[in-house]
A and B are shown apart, each in its own frame.
Chain A
Amino acid sequence: MNDHRGEERRHRDDVGGSPADSEDGRTVVELLAHADSIDPAAPSLHSRLAAVRGRADGRGVSATVDLHGKLVGLEFGREAMGLPPMTLAAVIQELAGRATAAALAEGVALLDGVGGPLIATALAARAEDGTEPPRPTRRPTRRAVADDEETYTPQTWAVPH
């Protein structure tokens, strides 16, 4: 490990650094300096994304979701427990959708500067598109296998460790 870093430094001395060695205009020296500035003990991007939470409150309900939109926290107050069951279910769904939009926005903020400006812009645009909460669906007769395959969507937020 140390040998490798020493080799990097020798390489830095050799190349000296010329303008626009990277797509964003940074020289090799600047890129190496940036690499040296990264704290290996700092939480990884993966762990920071995994820790993202979005929360929304309303009508005595508090819903917390992770970056995937999965409900990870739910609290009910007195008002919530007085709602008709179907209304309460609808409130939970709406809040989960709003909390997911908040989590996505926080995730995009974390990615800003990591993937470059083009990726950050594209992710921000997608996050804005997804601000509308998902609507309840009632399709009890849907075909299990074929329909699921047609609606398959990759987990674009999954980031390797």
Chain B
Amino acid sequence: MTGHADDPAHTITVQVEAGGALRSLSLAGPALRLGPIGLADAILDLVDTATARANQRERFVLRDRVGGIGDEELDALGFGGPGDLIEAAETTTPETWRVS
């Protein structure tokens, strides 16, 4: 279960596992022109976004496979996150993951 996020303008691409463990990171020349602080912030922001997407996918799968599990239990198990990121992740989650 993975989540992906990228910043094409600065050529940064991130892929993480559910939970946020880094699976792949791609950088090109424009990324380094952000400077040390800008680059670190950009990568961490993309990791947050990718993690929210991966967690959202896992949340849908768990809801589908574990009968009776609700939002409260899923939040307690760590499949939540910042509300704005979750909302953004939901809008980019393919319909195939939206099985309740």
Contacts and interface: CB of A to CB of B under 8 A. Distances in A.
Contacts of A72: 44
B3 to A, nearest CB: 10
Nearest to B50: A70
Interface residues of A, number: 39
A51 to B, nearest CB: 14
A74 B16 CA distance: 16
A28 interface: no
Given A70-B21, A92-B25, A144 B1 contact: no
B27 A88 contact: yes
B49 to A, nearest CB: 12
A71 B20 contact: yes
Contact of B24 (A71, A136, A157): A136
A43 interface: no
Interface string A56-78: 00000000011011111111110
B17 interface: yes
A144 B39 contact: no
B4 to A, nearest CB: 10
Interface string B1-27: 110000000010001111111111111
A153 interface: yes
Contacts of B77: 155, 158, 160
Contact of B61 (A69, A70, A152, A157): A152
A127 to B, nearest CB: 14
B78 interface: yes
A66 B47 CA distance: 12
Interface-central residue, A71, A100, A149, A151, by most chain B CB under 10 Å: A71
Given A70-B16, A155-B78, A76 B40 contact: yes
A102 interface: no
Contact of B21 (A68, A73, A75, A85): A68
Interface of B: 1-2, 11, 15-29, 31-32, 35-36, 39-40, 43-44, 47, 51, 57-58, 61, 73, 76-79, 94, 96-97
8 contacts: A65-B20, A88-B32, A92-B22, A100-B21, A137-B23, A149-B61, A155-B77, A158-B76
